[in-house]
């Protein structure tokens, strides 16, 4: 936002009044239907500028100012709350958090008896009233004193039980939101019924909770974070009690509430939750820090807007609003034609974003995007930014339809549009260089000396059309390439010869079969034992491989059919004959028992490896785990038996400690699997 909204300070009363108007308008949209032309960071900066002006000019405070009001003074309701439903004060840095915590301890006159740290969910706060354990009413927060009755939507809210495990008179308080999967499903349902897609998960949740008499059902999820009429329990104990009653809480997620003894531990937990932000199934816009004990909460009390014993440590926004300037169409190494959004530059989570993914043409149509639209853009952690949906009500009439390509934008050949992801009819042949570079990568064939320049030469000279052709090269033909001397030719041929003996899983992975990756390539290779057996496999046979399933098996078979000429050339050239070692086979001493020091244990690796493991890539670590009888995984869960924690292990280590999972250093793990090290 330009003018006063975009500045850190306000120069005059005119600027101040304009900022108040902008903030009230944005809050009205945000707490109304969840839409807003301002991102979280912009709104927070605007309110802080308003607060700074009011501190300097206390006699000129505008009556509509959002400061000191629940929901910025924008939300309304007509059903009184039993107890005021307050907002939270915000802090925006570790320094501000430390200052706030010190202020609370000064107020108490003693140290706080523990802190509870949990994610700040980006949804709508609601109150759910129960009588004799039966849900009788659900309200929005409104202005904190009264809310809107949305009981009609309660049956679509997962995690909010219609009956509690005990017949209590109690009011649960929590957040209702759309998870990522629910948001995508909601937009598919809305599009099928001719409705405009939701622009943002929060706007979808707000619109869904308020809507009546829709011809379709949209599911949401409830996360309880408090209660009224439940006795004087500390916060951690209260969350456990709510879960025991059958209510969903954040304890069911990787970012589960955690009790911390010191502010330093609080800051560490905030860092851990921030690090896992992009992998959570829902949006968060901060981390909530609360005094955990009931005594501390009661003694600290509450103000008119917020409790004094809790604060929200706001995080940099992952959603921002910017303009869609154009759409580019790029061709990937398998021939997939992928649209890419060209955006008016916008800073999201500290990174300037100018491009974002649009998935496929069907996704563009479903989201009803047009060139020139203002749209929400999401950047979750290190994930590639994506365009979510347009702000359709902000359109001026100058927007233009997105033009889809009629031929392959790279080679000009025809497009196969039979699936959602369009593809050049030449498939991998359209991007032979990209396919060969992928095959030669470290975690595939690891062919040293085969970089982009050399791959382009090989393809342009007609010496190589696919990865199998690499194994037909000879010195005489290589020497015909520009700047290719005898030493370089000998080195490249030696690297290719070494790759000929690569394990089957690496050769299969080098093919870049859609629906498979490094882990699945190991499983497929260990299951079938040879390239010829993989070549002959049908969908039913492939579905028997752990983790594939029927649908993916059909896709893999289709890919193998397309790659049949390449597979035949690899088999004829004797490439990939080194058998992939499966996880340790069943031992004869007892049915179901397995050999190997890991014996079917789920193992997760995190952080930087040291000692004997320092030179191994993450893919090589996973191979080591499976050779030793284990099952490699990327996330910590109750099924994880062992965590290998290197330097800067972060949130996965904290999760493992919480679940009581065994944790080993890289050196300890190397000793455990010494017989299986490469």
- The DSSP line for 45-68 is HHHHHHHHHHHH-GGG--TT--TT
Note whether residue 489 is domain-resident: yes
Report the Cα 350 to chain-centroid distance in Å: 17
pLDDT higher than 60, residue 594: no
Note whether residue 354 is domain-resident. yes
DSSP code, position 675: G
**Residue at a domain's end among 28, 52, 73:** 73
C-alpha dihedral (561, 563, 568, 571), degrees to nearest 10? -110
652 is catalytic: no
| pLDDT value for 28 | 64
On the question of pLDDT at 566 being above 90, the answer is yes
Q: Please report the sign of the dihedral spanned by the C-alpha atoms of residue 36, residue 40, residue 46, residue 50.
A: positive
Q: Measured between alpha carbons, how far is 351 from 222 in angstroms, rounded to an integer?
A: 31
Q: Per-residue pLDDT tens for 248-259?
A: 999 988 899 999
- Predicted pLDDT of residue 593: 41
- CB 421, CB 361: distance < 8 Å: no
Provide the pLDDT confidence category of residue 70 given band limits of 50, 70 and 90. Answer: low
Q: Is the pLDDT of residue 668 over 70?
A: yes
* Residue-level pLDDT at 270: 94
Residues 193 and 140 in one domain: yes
Choose the final residue of a domain: 314, 348, 382. 314
Span 600-622, pLDDT tens digits: 788 999 888 998 898 888 778 88
Q: Which of the four pLDDT bands, split at 50, 70 and 90, describes residue 4?
A: very low
Please give the average per-residue pLDDT across 529-543, as a whole number: 91
Domain end among 416, 437, 471: 416
Residue 331, domain member (yes or no): yes
175 and 273 assigned to the same domain: yes
CATH code, domain carrying 64? 1.10.287
Mean pLDDT of 232-250: 94
Catalytic-labelled residue, pool 120, 290, 601, 655 = 120
The Cα–Cα gap between 673 and 675 comes to 6
99 shares its domain with 25: no
Q: According to the model, what pLDDT value does residue 149 have?
A: 92
Cα–Cα dist 241/224, whole Å: 11
Q: Is residue 589 part of a domain?
A: no
pLDDT-derived band at 27 (thresholds 50, 70, 90) equals low
Structure tokens at 489: 């030719």
- Mean pLDDT of all residues in the chain? 86
Among 79-88, 307-316, 317-326, 594-603, the range scoring the smallest mean pLDDT is: 594-603
- C-alpha–C-alpha distance, residues 373 and 394, integer Å: 8
Question: Do 460 and 518 fall into the same domain?
Answer: no
pTM of the model: 0.59
Domain total for the chain? Answer: 6
Q: What are phi and psi of 627, to 5 degrees?
A: -60, -35
Measured on CA atoms in the order 249, 153, 172, 79, is the torsion positive or negative?
positive
Domain that includes residue 337, residue range: 319-416
């Amino acid at each position: 936002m330009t003018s006063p909204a975009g500045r850190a300070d306000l120069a005059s009363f005119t600027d101040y009044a304009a900022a108040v108007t902008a903030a009230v308008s944005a809050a009205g949209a945000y707490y109304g239907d969840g839409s807003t032309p301002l991102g979280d960071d912009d709104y927070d900066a605007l309110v802080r500028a308003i607060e700074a002006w009011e501190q300097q000019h206390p006699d000129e405070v505008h009556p509509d100012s959002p400061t000191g009001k629940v929901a910025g003074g924008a939300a309304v309701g007509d059903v009184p709350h039993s107890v005021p439903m307050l907002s939270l004060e915000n802090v925006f840095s570790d320094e501000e958090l430390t200052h706030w915590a010190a202020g609370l301890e000064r107020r108490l006159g003693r140290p706080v008896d523990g802190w509870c740290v949990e994610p700040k969910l980006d949804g709508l706060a609601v109150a759910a009233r129960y009588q004799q354990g039966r849900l009788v009413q659900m309200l929005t927060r409104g202005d904190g004193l009264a809310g809107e009755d949305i009981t009609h939507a309660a049956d679509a809210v997962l995690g909010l039980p219609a009956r509690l495990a005990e017949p209590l008179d109690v009011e649960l308080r929590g957040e209702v939101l759309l998870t990522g999967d629910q948001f995508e499903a909601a937009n598919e349902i809305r599009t099928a019924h001719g409705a405009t897609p939701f622009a943002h998960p929060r706007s979808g949740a707000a619109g869904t909770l308020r809507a009546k008499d829709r011809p379709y059902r949209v599911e949401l999820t409830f996360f309880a974070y408090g209660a009224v009429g439940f006795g004087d329990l500390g916060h951690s104990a209260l969350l456990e009690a709510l879960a025991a009653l059958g209510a969903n809480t954040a304890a069911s997620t990787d970012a589960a509430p955690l009790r911390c003894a010191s502010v330093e531990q609080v800051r560490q937990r905030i860092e851990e939750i921030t690090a896992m932000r992009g992998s959570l199934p829902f949006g968060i816009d901060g981390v909530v820090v609360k005094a955990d004990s009931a005594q501390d909460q009661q003694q600290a009390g509450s103000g008119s807007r917020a409790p004094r014993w809790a604060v929200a440590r706001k995080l940099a926004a992952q959603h921002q609003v910017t303009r869609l300037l154009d759409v580019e169409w790029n061709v990937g190494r398998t021939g997939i034609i992928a649209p890419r959004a060209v955006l008016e530059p916008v800073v999201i989570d500290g990174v300037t974003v100018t491009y974002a993914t649009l998935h496929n043409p069907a996704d563009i149509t479903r989201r009803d995007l047009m060139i020139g639209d203002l749209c929400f853009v999401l950047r979750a952690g290190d994930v590639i930014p994506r365009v979510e949906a347009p702000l359709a009500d902000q359109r001026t009439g100058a927007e233009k339809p997105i033009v889809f390509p009629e031929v392959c934008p790279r080679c000009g050949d025809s497009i196969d549009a039979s699936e959602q992801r369009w593809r050049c009819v030449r498939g991998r042949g359209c991007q032979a260089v990209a396919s060969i570079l992928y095959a030669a990568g470290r975690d595939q064939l690891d062919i040293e000396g085969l970089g982009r320049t050399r791959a382009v030469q090989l393809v342009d000279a007609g010496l190589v059309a696919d990865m199998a052709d690499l194994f037909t090269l000879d010195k005489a033909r290589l020497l015909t390439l520009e700047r290719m001397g005898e030493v370089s030719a000998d080195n490249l041929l030696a690297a290719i010869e070494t790759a000929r003996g690569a394990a089957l899983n690496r050769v299969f992975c080098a093919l870049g079969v859609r629906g498979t990756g490094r882990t699945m390539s190991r499983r497929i290779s260990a299951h079938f034992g040879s390239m010829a057996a993989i070549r002959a496999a049908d969908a039913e046979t492939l579905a028997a491989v752990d983790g594939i399933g029927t649908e993916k098996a059909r896709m893999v078979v289709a890919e193998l059919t397309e790659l049949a000429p390449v597979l035949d050339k690899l088999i004829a050239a004797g490439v990939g004959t080194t058998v992939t070692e499966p996880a340790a086979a069943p031992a004869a001493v007892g049915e179901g028992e397995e050999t190997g020091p890991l014996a079917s244990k789920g193992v997760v690796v995190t952080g930087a490896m040291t000692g004997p493991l320092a030179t191994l890539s993450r893919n090589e670590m996973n191979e080591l785990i499976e050779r030793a009888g284990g099952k490699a995984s990327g996330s910590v869960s109750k099924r994880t038996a062992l965590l290998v924690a290197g330097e800067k292990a972060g949130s996965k280590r904290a999760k493992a400690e919480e679940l009581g999972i065994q944790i080993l250093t890289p050196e300890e793990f190397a000793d455990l699997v010494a017989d299986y090290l490469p």
